[in-house]
């Protein structure tokens, strides 16, 4: 193949390897060369393992020569978000506490990707313990946005997004609590899916009954996102919310027309402040959806309980997951995580019960909305990619942010509803920074959401084709 292999889709690369047009070793070598050239500037890939990856690529090629394929990702390079265990590889969580920790076993998502033939070239950088919408930590440093190295790549899947958008990886896994797939997808001009809870099962410790934190894909197009979903989805006996449906449902998707669809449009998700360029891009997206034949239904969406729901269960999750580290290593944990845990320690039973009841009402309110419409269109982010020197934005359009994650409420309010959401590219700012929008679908309607996304990406093909030029 004469094309630069790092510019091809994961689907195209997988087919080329399967048909022996190109070898896995060639594909992995090309991506390793790309990592070597630009990762020093971007800092997306950490715990790098090029020699091991090349050896595994040769093993994949030996299998291919015998007519054996391990699965849909056979011979493709991946790097795993540094919150997920990869056996024999460092998993640091971006924390100095775990800077030398070597995982003993693969996490469920890694097992599925490896069983499907993927080759792990390293990990992708994260904020400390995945906390915040900006990827930096004191183990590996800052991940920079390939479109502008002075700007944030988002978080917490910022390393994953920066690696995919710059061609260091064909696709990547991410996780999303308050927007950790959708935010970096928007910042990186990528497709990012927050699936329905249980669609991508996890056996991680903690409250397995909480639908807040989910795993999902980041990719340069919807077909690649669906490809990864076909591998990482499926039931898991250790996950009580696990959806008993095989990942094969994500194979062979076809564009679903906007013509005849009814799309609810929320300009600001309950009065959130937005950067003026984000607001303009979201309004333009609504007009484009109408041009595609959809009936746009402007709504004043009642999300009055969403912040209580999200913030209560977020803090409880962090108290459960990181209270011990804070107690044992107070000097090695950043203040924002300490804040989250300290808030949880003040919660009364009455507040927790109110948040649980509010979550149920939100879920039912959104499900009722989807009785009348097919999709919800809304802003994905509230801000443009911000300077890497900031820990987080402290104001938006003149409105002060009261907490470190307040600038992500456009994502976290959707998290509180438990509905799946798809971040899609929409536009670029006047300064050349990507802006995404999110489409929200009914509970468990992940396939339909991606199929609508396929139609959307055809309409914004010029935006999606605009890849960053990172100086080597």
Of the candidates 104, 103, 101, which has an alpha carbon nearest to the alpha carbon of residue 92? Answer: 101
Cβ neighbors of 3 (< 8 A, separation 6 or more) are none
Active site residue 410: no
* Contact in structure between 390 and 132 (CB atoms under 8 Å): no
Q: Which two tokens stand for residue 50?
A: 């090029």
Instruction: Determine phi and psi for 394, rounding to 5 degrees.
Output: -105, -10
Q: What is the three-class DSSP state of 400?
A: strand
Is 156 a residue of the active site? yes
Task: Look up residue 96 and give its two tokens.
Answer: 């100095």
CA angle 50, 157, 269 (to 5 degrees): 160
Q: If DSSP codes are grouped into helix, strand and coil, which group holds residue 103?
A: coil
Identified catalytic residue from 23, 156, 202, 423: 156
Residue 338 annotated to the active site: no
Beta bridge partners of 193: 422
Candidate list 24, 81, 123, 242, residue with the active-site label: 81
Q: From CA 183, how far away is CA 160, in angstroms rounded?
A: 12
**What is the C-alpha to C-alpha distance for residues 336 and 333, in angstroms, rounded to an integer?**
9
CA distance 404 to 31: 35
DSSP H helical ranges for 272-305: 276-291
Phi and psi at 161, nearest 5°, equal -65, -45
Residues with Cβ within 8 Å of 66's Cβ and at least 6 positions away in sequence, in order, are none
**Catalytic residue, candidates 180, 233, 406, 412:** 180
CA distance 356 to 105: 34
- Contact at 8 Å (CB) between 113 and 73? yes
Q: Strand, helix or coil at 41? A: helix
In 3D space, the residue among 400, 388, 321, 310 whose CA is nearest the CA of residue 355 turns out to be 310
Residues, the chain? 472
Active-site residue list: 81, 156, 180
């Amino acid at each position: 193949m004469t094309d630069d292999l790092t510019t091809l889709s994961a689907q195209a690369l997988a087919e080329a390897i399967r048909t022996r047009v190109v070898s896995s070793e060639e594909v992995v070598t090309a991506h390793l060369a790309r990592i070597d050239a630009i990762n020093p500037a971007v800092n997306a890939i950490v715990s790098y393992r090029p020699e091991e990856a090349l050896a595994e690529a040769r093993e994949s090629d030996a299998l291919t020569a015998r007519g054996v394929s391990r699965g849909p990702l056979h011979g493709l390079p991946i790097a795993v978000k540094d919150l997920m265990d990869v056996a024999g590889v460092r998993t640091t969580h971006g924390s100095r506490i775990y800077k030398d920790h070597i995982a003993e076993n693969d996490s469920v998502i890694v097992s599925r990707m490896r069983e499907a033939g993927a080759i792990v070239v390293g990990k992708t950088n994260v904020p400390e313990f995945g906390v915040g919408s900006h990827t930096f930590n004191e183990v590996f440093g800052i991940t920079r946005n390939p479109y502008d190295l002075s700007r944030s790549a988002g978080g917490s899947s910022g390393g994953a997004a920066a690696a995919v958008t710059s061609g260091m990886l064909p696709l990547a896994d991410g996780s999303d609590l308050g927007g950790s797939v959708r935010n970096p997808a928007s910042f990186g001009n990528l497709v990012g899916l927050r699936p329905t809870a249980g669609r991508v099962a996890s056996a991680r410790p903690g409250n397995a009954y909480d639908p807040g934190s989910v795993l999902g894909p980041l990719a340069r197009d919807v077909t690649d996102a669906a490809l990864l979903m076909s591998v990482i989805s499926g039931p898991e006996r250790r996950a009580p919310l696990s959806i008993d449906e095989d990942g094969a449902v994500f194979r062979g998707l076809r564009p679903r027309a906007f013509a005849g669809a009814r799309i609810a449009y929320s300009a600001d998700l309950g009065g959130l402040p937005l950067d003026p360029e984000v607001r303009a891009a979201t309004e333009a997206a609504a007009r484009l959806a109408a041009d595609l034949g959809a009936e746009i239904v402007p709504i004043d969406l009642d999300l009055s309980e969403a912040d209580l729901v999200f913030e209560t269960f977020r803090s409880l999750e962090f108290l459960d997951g990181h209270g011990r580290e804070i107690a044992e290593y107070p000097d090695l944990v950043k203040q924002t995580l300490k804040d989250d845990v300290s808030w949880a320690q003040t919660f009364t039973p009455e507040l927790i019960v109110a948040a649980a009841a509010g979550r149920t009402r939100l879920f039912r309110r959104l499900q009722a909305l989807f009785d009348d419409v097919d999709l919800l269109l809304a802003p994905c982010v509230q801000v443009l990619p911000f300077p890497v020197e900031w820990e987080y934005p402290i104001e938006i359009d003149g409105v002060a942010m009261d907490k470190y994650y307040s600038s992500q409420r456009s994502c976290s309010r959707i998290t509180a509803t438990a509905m799946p959401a798809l971040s899609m590219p929409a536009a670029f700012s006047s300064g050349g920074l990507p802006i995404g929008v999110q489409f929200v679908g009914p509970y468990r309607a992940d396939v339909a959401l991606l199929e609508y996304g396929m139609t959307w990406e055809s309409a914004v093909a010029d935006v999606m084709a605009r890849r960053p030029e990172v100086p080597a």
